[in-house]
A and B are shown apart, each in its own frame.
Chain A
């Protein structure tokens, strides 16, 4: 019984990791740009939720939508104002520019919102669900469902729509896509916008159970990179599965061995997977 509860808790936090990482897959896996500021996008999504709730009395659905819209715009803006220009520079410039963006966003938030933690009221999504004695935390369950929806939605968008094909074409070969009449800048801007929107939704939903602060990207940022690499660059479903596996391993090792050692197990498996399968679980060779 307790084992089952540990497994369920692991899968739930794993779903949160998957949701958190979904936006990163898109720009890292497909556009080949590492966005170090991804955790900060999620942090801003949390603040949009908080202010939406506090000032405008939004419900969960409305503030998640607001966070998606705001962060979509931020994603597009970041692409147009920053990424578009540094893409022409050396690799190092790209890395340092998003790292710089991380610092600007984190410390602007620090300055604007202060260093104190804020929280949405507990139980905003209702009490835990009791399924045959196993308790499912409502906010994590919602985050899990949203992760699944975002994953499937993004997968369908990329594989079944014209827009998706264009985005993939630009990712594959910018010049060839241009010859086919695709505007690469527009596609990339949309991809950054989508990445921002999913980070916004992730932030809004995580805010329903996690304390909000300007430095929250520090706690959650690293795991997103692990999830994307583990799942395979460019594979949205891969990130989902990787998130669940990491959550499960964390939970089991924390319960049976000790919470301080959970990272040892996660990263040992991570190294092992990369050793055997450098392209990640579901990445293309």
Chain B
């Protein structure tokens, strides 16, 4: 009898603690590249997402414009804490698939975040779809991740068409300010990234009534870009959009200088222009180059500045655009779980669909978060930043500008 009582007590104790566990911890799965070529980007993104959970789990009244920041934990789930279960997909789509499967079936995560590589997001979201687990894509931009008829895939990040429209809106603003901005040249490397972005930019330009006077496709591994620069010099467009990797971006700047061609305005689409190696190699030749980023550290004591300080304390460096977009995805997902008031996947999915965050509730420069039927955030947008000295500073749109736009492109002059 004594023994029976003892075992009953033990069983009771365990089941109580199991219930307590369920109430106090919500598991979210994360897959990111933690080894291989993109490991540094993956680790930076995981650090940002961990910081997001830390902000939600602990009271941070100083960040009160962010949902869930001021209280501790998920308030509608009895203050339950969020725990990230992180797995490495090595940049490999099939590894992404099996890790997602493991996180869902073994770790019993209630939702998923990830995964940097578009190729991995494509396979991982398919697994989540099959198991009926919500998957919020924070940073992969390939157009076809949404729009496959999936019910469980949501994406907060802006995609190529958003960027392209931002560039053209910017040029339209330039025109209104009295600067010439009616012709552009698109210079793009010839693999999937360059070709697809160039296509979207071309379409956006036409929609904005801007003439595309040259569309130059080239191989990023080439040794020389003189012919391209001479073509640009001959056409002399009002602005050039470069969709280029690092070594070719550097070569373009050096070759433009050596062939004495100072373009009127230069827009670089992230990648090469965002590589720190670009700034250290040719920053002094590319003054006034425009780039994109939805992340902006902002003024001292602003929410974004505070987040950056916390991130710096954690990792030793400033937050970058990619990590910021992942962090925003984590915030969006946690807000939805909280509003669902439940860890049931279907309730979370419904809450995600009902998401309607205002710009003031975000840490990124989106116009809000609101998903369409395909799961794409319709209010995704980006800031445009300009290279001034050794740093990029936000110059567009006006509401986020920290510095007056420099026009025309100064280059090396």
- A: residues with CB less than 8 A from B are 2, 5-6, 9-10, 12-13, 16-17, 115-119, 122-123, 127-128, 135, 137-138, 209-211, 213, 216, 218-220, 223, 247, 250-251, 254-255, 258-260, 262-263
Q: Would B222 and A259 count as touching, CB distance under 8 A?
A: yes
Q: List 30 A-B contacts (CB under 8 A).
A: A5-B230, A6-B226, A6-B227, A6-B230, A9-B224, A9-B230, A10-B226, A12-B226, A13-B223, A13-B224, A116-B277, A117-B246, A117-B250, A117-B281, A118-B281, A119-B277, A122-B282, A128-B257, A128-B258, A135-B259, A137-B258, A211-B246, A211-B251, A211-B277, A250-B224, A251-B224, A254-B227, A255-B230, A259-B217, A260-B218
Which residue of the partner chain, among B217, B221, B228, contacts A218 with CB atoms under 8 Å? B221
Q: Would B37 and A115 count as touching, CB distance under 8 A?
A: yes
Is B260 among interface residues, defined by CB-CB distance under 8 A? yes
Interface residues of B, CB < 8 Å — how many? 36
Q: Would B227 and A16 count as touching, CB distance under 8 A?
A: no
Is B190 among interface residues, defined by CB-CB distance under 8 A? yes
Residues of B within 8 A of A220 (CB): 223
B248 to chain A, nearest CB (A): 9
Q: Would A251 and B227 count as touching, CB distance under 8 A?
A: yes
Q: Would B224 and A260 count as touching, CB distance under 8 A?
A: no
In the docked arrangement, what's the CA distance between A220 and B222, Å?
A: 8
In the docked arrangement, what's the CA distance between A255 and B226, Å?
A: 9
Q: Would B218 and A251 count as touching, CB distance under 8 A?
A: no
In the docked arrangement, what's the CA distance between A13 and B227, Å?
A: 11
Is B284 among interface residues, defined by CB-CB distance under 8 A? yes
Q: Would B224 and A219 count as touching, CB distance under 8 A?
A: no
B 247-277 to A, binary, CB cutoff 8 A, 1 in contact else 0: 1001100110111100000000000000111
Q: Is the interface of A mostly helix, strand, loop or mixed?
A: helix
B 35-62 to A, binary, CB cutoff 8 A, 1 in contact else 0: 0010000000000000000000000000
Q: Would A223 and B223 count as touching, CB distance under 8 A?
A: yes
Q: Which residues of B217-237 have CB atoms within 8 Å of chain A's CB atoms?
A: 217-219, 221-228, 230-231, 233-234
Which residue of the partner chain, among A211, A247, A250, contacts B250 with CB atoms under 8 Å? A211
Q: Other than the known A117-B275, A210-B223, A251-B227, what 14 A-B pairs have Cβ atoms closer than 8 Å?
A: A2-B230, A6-B227, A116-B277, A122-B254, A122-B284, A127-B258, A135-B258, A137-B258, A137-B259, A210-B251, A254-B227, A254-B228, A258-B216, A260-B190
Q: Would B222 and A135 count as touching, CB distance under 8 A?
A: no
Q: Would A258 and B217 count as touching, CB distance under 8 A?
A: yes
Residues of A within 8 A of B247 (CB): 117, 210-211, 213, 216, 219
Given contacts A117-B247, A122-B257, A135-B259, contact A259 B281 (CB under 8 A): no
